[in-house]
Chain A
Amino acid sequence: MQDAKATTSPLQEVKTTTCYMCACRCGIRVHLRDGVVRYIDGNPDHPLNKGVICAKGSSGIMKQYSPARLLKPLKRKVGAERGAGDFEEIEWEEAYATLAERLGKIRATDPKKFALFTGRDQMQALTGMFARQFGTPNYAAHGGFCSVNMAAGMIYTIGGSFWEFGGPDLDRAKLFVMIGTAEDHHSNPLKIALSKFKRDGGRFISINPVRTGYSAIADEWVPIRPGTDGALLLAVIHEIIATGLYDRDFLVKYSNAGQLVNVSESNDEFGFFVRTEVPTEEACYEPQDKLWWDRNTNRAVVTHEAGADPYLFGDFTLKDGTRVKPAFQLLQERVKDYTPEWASQITGIAAEVIRQLAHEMGVTARDQKIELPIAWTDSWGNEHDTVTGNPVAFHAMRGLAAHSNGFQTIRALAILMSLLGTIDRPGGFRHKAPFPRPIPPCARTPNDPRGVQPNRPLDGMPLGWPSDPDDLFVNDDGSPVRLDKAFSWEYPLSVHGLMHNAITNAWRGDPYRIDTLLIFMANMSWNSTMNTAEVRQMLNDKDENGEFKIPFLVVCDAFHSEMTAYADLILPDTTYLERHDVMSMLDRPISEFDGPVDSVRIPVVPVSGDCKPFQEVLIELGTRLKLPAFVTKEGERKFRDYPDFIVNYETEPGSGIGFLAGWRGKGGEKSLRGEPNPNQWEMYQKNNCVFHYELPKSYQYMRNWNKGYLEWSQRNRITRYGEPILIHLYSEVLQRFRTAAQGKGLTRKPPEHLRKRIETYFDPLPFYYDSLEAQVTDKHKYPLAAVTQRPMAMYHSWDSQNAWLRQIHTHNYLYVNTLTARQQGIADGDWIWVESQWGKVRCMARHSEAVEPGTVWTWNAIGKAAGAWNLTPDANESQKGFLLNHLISEELPSVGSTRISNSDPITGQAAWYDVRVKISKAEAGEPEQTSPQFAVMKPYPGMKTRSSILAFLGAKPK
């Protein structure tokens, strides 16, 4: 290069928007030269990423200009098979007319025959609203196969969760424990915080079968066998209680530790908290009507009575003869036999290491207390001069969640965090608005099939938070109303649905056949489905009349993904740089610990080809179908387009609540609530596309029980109730299901074949059990656990087509502990077979010292089908790269001939990481190519041709 000083082109302009190369949603500056994206960097004035950007964000240019972009609406050619990729171009009007006619008929007859499943769960305020307005119960985003156990396990325990709704406060923590793979949620904010934490002298422990990603810089790596985290956590709880390292004061005031549970087995109320009175109304909060056994007066008193101090241990008898025990006593009894020695056998972690972990957590929490000079008032009117923090922070996501014992494991984690006194306190776990919420949150689905009616919106939310069996969405005979069987007795607390079973169920017609399946941005014939090869067949399978078993399949995607090949109709989506979008408080915003934050995307380049943002498609379809939210009483169009909808939509007329919380009111003078502001988009644009409401310091901590915060939250309609949200060490919600399974109480009862299952897994206290798959696997035959992790340059698996990123991860290996590999005669780089009881895959092995000997693992979603994503058919991704999904079943054998989802029995969380495998060297002479292989995908009409050489100059070609 010349000895240049600067080359800034006068043509350059800079626009701000929000990244969407992964789900992290950083603020970005897009630098344009002559209308071409020349450079994308982090926005230094954005609260989330403060100017930094990751490998993916820096490669957005290659997404924008990728030859894998779909640029025209397409329909499958008459007579072509699904999967063959024979499409013809159509115009949007034909696409809309086709959809409006078909969906109109479905809505007028049986709305549940339309199913909408989306890969994207940060847009569900709109997609969920569309489904509800349409009247179908068959809607979910990808949470069921992502990390719903994390959301449900924590929200049902502490009223908040990791990721969008809360996280570790590494600014103040002294000890940080990360368990299992969790790197992709959050990405940049966690990296920023982790680095600062380490430089400030914090100690970082990583508990993970694999040492990669963030674990690489951990001060200590504790290798653990996959799926055994629950055993470890219960043993740590055992040790914390046995040594008295719990925060007694915190537990007494802020959890149900001291509340008395009825332990008279013959009593109808067995296992429930004793109440002073029968609740008069069913409201979505917990009335303070429970009892403590007061140490000072040695009698039962109402909780939080002034001057009272409850026993946490003991066995008492009420005046009416009812035997009761404090919840903490029951927890202690539960963990009594969960000793470090017991856990050591299961986890592979030495007992002394488990003790050391417990002691480090407990002593750090106790002896390194933080005192912030912040005065606040608790829900009982007590004034505090300071906010206390116990500086031990945790983080976990899919590593714990993607197991069929994940919900109870995560309950154990949330309970451990509570025992250490770290909930919404400095240095521990902190909430992000709109959380904390009541346990469980108030949204409910209909609980009756009559909630689904022709030409009517769904009578309830499409997803919700059941609090007892009567909240389940089941038919009178107890069978599921939903296609994915969510909120049924099979998976009662499936709060994010079970997208991973939607296709199989629709194909089999169990519980029923549907007509139209609309999939948005989810690769359900490849890396987002289990049992990939068979699911691909189901998508193309026909009944005895020659009709497709799933009659009409619509896919909206920006790229030439494996799923698009199966579509009857393809709707080409835009990229994130071409669209308006909102990260809304009604959804999963980007809030910070210190208050609500929402943000927007504003197009920085024109739409490519004939693409349309999916949001626009929904608004247009909603209008054509005359769904009430989108049309006036007279049936006329209410919203010009998506931006107009965002500004003017209110949850109900005059509510002042809309998708965006910033610059509301006619002139933008109001926050959170206020009339629509016609200039709201411009105001976001002027402010880096982000709105940050910083709470007063006194509202930033202890929010479950912070009177000021809860009242503020009520006034701003973030929540309906201002009651304190006590931590559920003991879960009455779970006990209600168990009691029903035992045939007791007045609620609905499960069908006979599921009674045992409900009774077993709906334990009000966390317990450890071997995963459901392990229970039906011969572990001698399949001795290894197989898991995946995400490389940071490919978070969220959306960018195989990216010319720069694919050079970093062109294909994947199966990583095998060196000793384990040698025992099988497998050398580094050998071709091997990996086999589970459900399928087999040929791939390449790589020796590793950074994986525990009983585990094999690979990077997720690097392997692609030949020709997909407009890569050449001989691209490494399809020839050497592989998918572990072929080894994982979406169903497990259940009682008798019935099948049940390969999921957590409580939440329906897909149990990706339960699979057991064996490995063997491929025979000499076998092709050095991944198996299975599929028919090569061809490019579709309207797509650009790929170049064989790329010299990107960030300028218009001359």
Chain B
Amino acid sequence: MTQLALVIDLNVCVGCQACVTSCKEWNTAGSAGPMVDQNPYGADPTGTFFNRVQTFEVGEFPNTETVHFPKSCLHCEDPPCVPVCPTGASYKRKEDGIVLVDYDKCIGCKYCSWACPYGARELDEQQQVMKKCTLCVDRIYDMSMTEDDRKPACVKACPTSARLYGDIHDPESAVSIAIRESGGYPLMPEWGTHPANHYLPRRKTRIKIHEDELERADNPLKVDRQLPKPAMSEPTLDDVTTW
């Protein structure tokens, strides 16, 4: 059975926020929209986003890591937001594992957002319905688009290609390989939600320089430190003594 998901590579994410606004611009005018903004030009503007990047520091100076951490609905395999929904608005699709909200059924009671341990759901304050990432369900099956375009907007936009997208139940998919080979991990597994989305950790590349690598037969100093020989005509001891 298919489980579509995002795998987010923290090793290359630079926190540029492309996923945040590309998501917003596609979805506000798409079938999951609008994504309403309150006080868009005033104090404390606040709007609906399906995807946000949180930046935080780990460690103490100078051993500090700055982590850019994109967060959106993780499309859990066992989503706690679904059973708590009193109207059945929150549901998980059998065919691809995407978790969606049916706005027509949602009464804005917020049970789902309380149940979600990841804070992935946002109530649309104008429409009073719960909104969240749909994995761009209105793009990924749209056969009028080219195959390259049939991806979530955030995946297409991401300049560092930090967002991989595919079926994590297919062991040969790029996302499954990435999880397997690059240390992919789910968030807060202790909650038993089995998030479909995974994260790839930071990896360090180091260069080891051995001391003897600085000693080389072809060191140019061996050429350059040789100074010219004195001319034959220049004075020597031969000219001044007989021993």
List residues of chain B with CB within 8 A of the CB of A328: 224
Is the beta-carbon distance between A363 and B209 smaller than 8 angstroms?
A: yes
Listed stretches B61-69, B72-80, B107-115, B189-197; interface member: B61-69
Judged by a CB distance under 8 angstroms, whether A318 is at the interface is no
B187-240 contacts to A (CB < 8 Å): 202, 204-207, 209, 213-214, 216, 219-229, 231
Q: Considering only CB atoms, which chain B residue lies closest to A188 in the complex?
A: B159
Is the beta-carbon distance between B65 and A216 smaller than 8 angstroms?
A: yes
CA distance A313 to B226 in the complex (A): 9
Is the beta-carbon distance between B18 and A949 smaller than 8 angstroms?
A: no
CA distance A314 to B225 in the complex (A): 8
B1-60 contacts to A (CB < 8 Å): 11-18, 20-22, 24-26, 28-47, 49, 55, 57, 59-60
Is the beta-carbon distance between B66 and A54 smaller than 8 angstroms?
A: no
Is the beta-carbon distance between A195 and B21 smaller than 8 angstroms?
A: no
Q: Considering only CB atoms, which chain A residue lies closest to B66 in the complex?
A: A216
Is the beta-carbon distance between B18 and A803 smaller than 8 angstroms?
A: no
Q: Considering only CB atoms, which chain B residue lies closest to A298 in the complex?
A: B228
Judged by a CB distance under 8 angstroms, whether A356 is at the interface is yes
Listed stretches A123-131, A711-719, A868-876; interface member: A868-876
Judged by a CB distance under 8 angstroms, whether A390 is at the interface is no
B113 to chain A, nearest CB (A): 16
Contact with B along A732-761 (1 / 0, CB 8 A): 000000000000000000000000000000
Is the beta-carbon distance between A1 and B220 smaller than 8 angstroms?
A: no
CA distance A948 to B132 in the complex (A): 23
Is the beta-carbon distance between B66 and A41 smaller than 8 angstroms?
A: no
Listed stretches A265-273, A580-588, A805-813; interface member: A805-813
Is the beta-carbon distance between A41 and B12 smaller than 8 angstroms?
A: no
A203 to chain B, nearest CB (A): 4
Is the beta-carbon distance between A202 and B205 smaller than 8 angstroms?
A: yes
Is the beta-carbon distance between A850 and B14 smaller than 8 angstroms?
A: no
Listed stretches A378-386, A649-657, A900-908, A950-958; interface member: A950-958
A267-307 contacts to B (CB < 8 Å): 293, 295, 298
Listed stretches A3-11, A339-347, A617-625; interface member: A3-11
Known: A7-B30, A214-B14, A792-B16. A807 touches B37 (CB 8 A): yes
Listed stretches A32-40, A101-109, A909-917; interface member: A32-40
A333 to chain B, nearest CB (A): 14
Is the beta-carbon distance between B29 and A39 smaller than 8 angstroms?
A: yes
B148 to chain A, nearest CB (A): 6
List residues of chain B with CB within 8 A of the CB of A212: 15, 55, 66
Is the beta-carbon distance between A950 and B36 smaller than 8 angstroms?
A: yes
Contact with B along A49-86 (1 / 0, CB 8 A): 10111111111010000011000000000000000000
List residues of chain A with CB within 8 A of the CB of B219: 243-244
CA distance A872 to B220 in the complex (A): 66
Is the beta-carbon distance between B142 and A194 smaller than 8 angstroms?
A: no
A874 to chain B, nearest CB (A): 5
A313 to chain B, nearest CB (A): 5
CA distance A214 to B14 in the complex (A): 5
Judged by a CB distance under 8 angstroms, whether A215 is at the interface is yes
Judged by a CB distance under 8 angstroms, whether A797 is at the interface is no
List residues of chain A with CB within 8 A of the CB of B116: none
Q: Which of B24, B57, B62, B134 contacts A852 (CB 8 A)?
A: B62
Judged by a CB distance under 8 angstroms, whether A849 is at the interface is yes
Is the beta-carbon distance between A954 and B61 smaller than 8 angstroms?
A: no
CA distance A946 to B41 in the complex (A): 7
Is the beta-carbon distance between B11 and A198 smaller than 8 angstroms?
A: yes
Is the beta-carbon distance between A807 and B47 smaller than 8 angstroms?
A: yes
Is the beta-carbon distance between A219 and B204 smaller than 8 angstroms?
A: yes
Q: Considering only CB atoms, which chain A residue lies closest to B214 in the complex?
A: A243
Judged by a CB distance under 8 angstroms, whether B82 is at the interface is no
Judged by a CB distance under 8 angstroms, whether A199 is at the interface is yes
Is the beta-carbon distance between A198 and B29 smaller than 8 angstroms?
A: no
Is the beta-carbon distance between B66 and A792 smaller than 8 angstroms?
A: no
Q: Considering only CB atoms, which chain B residue lies closest to A194 in the complex?
A: B160
CA distance A188 to B18 in the complex (A): 10
Judged by a CB distance under 8 angstroms, whether B104 is at the interface is yes
Query: Which residue among A33, A217, A312, A949 has the maximum number of chain B CB atoms within 10 Å of its CB?
Result: A217
Known: A202-B205, A792-B15. A952 touches B61 (CB 8 A): no
List residues of chain B with CB within 8 A of the CB of A876: 43-45
Is the beta-carbon distance between B39 and A948 smaller than 8 angstroms?
A: yes
Is the beta-carbon distance between B103 and A213 smaller than 8 angstroms?
A: no
A803 to chain B, nearest CB (A): 4
CA distance A295 to B227 in the complex (A): 9
CA distance A375 to B153 in the complex (A): 43
Q: Which 3 A-B pairs rank lowest in CB-CB distance, beginning with the nearest?
A: A954-B29, A195-B160, A248-B220
Q: A58-B22, A219-B204, A949-B36 are in contact. List 4 more A-B contacts (CB 8 A).
A: A4-B138, A7-B31, A199-B11, A298-B231
Give me the interface of A with B, judged by CB distance under 8 Å. Answer: 1-8, 33, 38-42, 44, 49, 51-59, 61, 67-68, 175, 183, 187-188, 191-192, 194-195, 198-199, 201-204, 211-217, 219-221, 223, 243-246, 248, 293, 295, 298, 311-314, 316, 328, 356, 359-360, 363-364, 366-367, 792-793, 801, 803-808, 810, 817-819, 848-853, 870-872, 874-876, 879, 946-955
List 29 A-B pairs, Cβ < 8 Å: A1-B32, A1-B102, A1-B131, A3-B100, A4-B137, A4-B138, A6-B141, A6-B143, A7-B31, A8-B144, A54-B17, A54-B159, A55-B20, A55-B21, A59-B24, A59-B25, A195-B162, A198-B11, A203-B207, A204-B205, A217-B202, A243-B214, A244-B220, A793-B20, A808-B20, A818-B60, A872-B41, A951-B28, A951-B35
